[in-house]
Structure 1
Amino acid sequence: MKRKKSKKRKDLRRLVIMFTIVIIAFVIYDHYKIKPEVTVPNTAMPDGLHPVVAERMNQLVKRAADIGIVVVITDDFRSAEEQNRLYEKGRTAGGNIVTYAKGGESFHNFGLAVDFALKTSTGDVIWDRNFDGNGNARADWSEVVTMAKELGFEWGGDWPQFKDYPHLQMDFGLSIADLQNGERPPGQPYMADTGL
């Protein structure tokens, strides 16, 4: 009787050991097996301003003109290549640093941002935030920013870190990460994949 119990215990131990080896082998196989590479599908990049941004930009220019302020849009849609060239300024190219965003890291690259300046009566394009060209004792820059916010733009001058005073953007509730992952606001124009 003792031999039968001993044999059953040995068999049970062998079974437990074999079962454990099989589980360990499965876990090791699953962990180290060659998994198919996950690729992000090519996502078309915009080739211009989002239609809503373009419409609001035009409304801003008109509203400002109605009160004697000439707004000049100095930049709008910007390709990733153009963004990279700007990023090089003050780093590998001459000049001052003008952006901290590389190609694909700016709302300009997704057609959701514009930059502006003011034009004086003599035709000079300026970025003077205290200039009062329409003579109403209020800085034209502040008036333009107020109008832009009323139209739904976010102003780069409100940012806590790098203040970008000429910058206006509409993010439609999307972050740069969302846009990089292929999300787009409704109505976005597209072009062939640029490889971002």
Structure 2
Amino acid sequence: MKIAKTFRLLVVLLILFTVGLLIYQYSTVPKEDVPLPDGLHPTVALKRDELVSLAADKGIQVVITADFRSYEEQNRLYEQGRSTAGNIVTNAKGGESYHNYGLAIDFALMTIDGQVVWDMEYDGNGNGTPDWDEVVSIAKDLGFSWGGDWRNFKDYPHFQMNFGLSISELQRGKRPPE
């Protein structure tokens, strides 16, 4: 009986050691020596342009309000509403946003009278469906994922293409093919 308890304890300790070792190895995986992007990924840029064009075909003017963002720009946005004036607009610091890797865009709508709006009920083309919903549908058809589908922090003007890569993988130097 005492041998069985000792054996179980050793098995548990071995499992904990193995899990700890795996966590340590994963957290210390060296970054690949890959430069950070300095602009929008070519596929994302192409799909952004298609989005604007396809929306225009439906009588909707899409305005791209942000795309690639440097770590410094991201950190300035992160500080907004925290240590600088304004409302909080992001929970991501530099390196924690798909914008920092050229894989995300933000948008707004332009009204008939030329105002840029983030009005999700605006129906400028008068077809009975909010233009916002139409733009989201087009973007999803083009392969974007939408920040409005996120569970926690809803980011309604945000689209991204992550190419199956997590932020952690991007931070370690993995990049999508061009």
TM-score, normalising length: structure 1: 0.75
Equivalent residue for 2:78? 87
- Which of residues 170, 173, 176 in structure 2 aligns to 1:179? 170
Q: Tell me, yes or no, if the aligned pair for 2:98 and 2:104 is still in contact at 8 Å.
A: yes
Larger Rg: 1
Q: CA offsets per residue over residues 125-172 of structure 1, 9 Å max, x none?
A: 000000000000000000000000000000000000000000000000
| CA displacement at 1:43 relative to structure 2 | 2.9
Q: Tell me, yes or no, if the aligned pair for 2:119 and 2:132 is still in contact at 8 Å.
A: yes
Taking a change above 3 Å as real, the CA distance of residues 144 and 41 of structure 1, as seen in their structure-2 partners, is closer
Equivalent residue for 1:120? 111
| CA displacement at 1:40 relative to structure 2 | 3.7
Taking a change above 3 Å as real, the CA distance of residues 63 and 41 of structure 1, as seen in their structure-2 partners, is closer
Equivalent residue for 2:136? 145
Q: Tell me, yes or no, if the aligned pair for 2:32 and 2:174 is still in contact at 8 Å.
A: no
Query: How much is the aligned-residue C-alpha RMSD, in angstroms?
Result: 1.3
Equivalent residue for 1:53? 44
- Which of residues 132, 148, 158 in structure 2 aligns to 1:157? 148
Q: CA offsets per residue over residues 93-114 of structure 1, 9 Å max, x none?
A: 0011000000000000000000
C-alpha distance in 1, partners of 2:177/2:59? 34
| CA displacement at 1:42 relative to structure 2 | 4.1
Ranges of 4+ aligned residues in structure 1 off by more than 4 Å: none
Q: Secondary structure at the match of 1:152?
A: coil
Gaps of 5+ in 2: 1-27
C-alpha distance in 2, partners of 1:172/1:41? 18
Q: Secondary structure at the match of 2:156?
A: coil
TM-score, normalising length: structure 2: 0.82
Question: What is the number of residues matched between the two proteins?
Answer: 151
Percent of paired sites with the same residue? 65
C-alpha distance in 2, partners of 1:40/1:163? 30
Q: Secondary structure at the match of 2:159?
A: strand
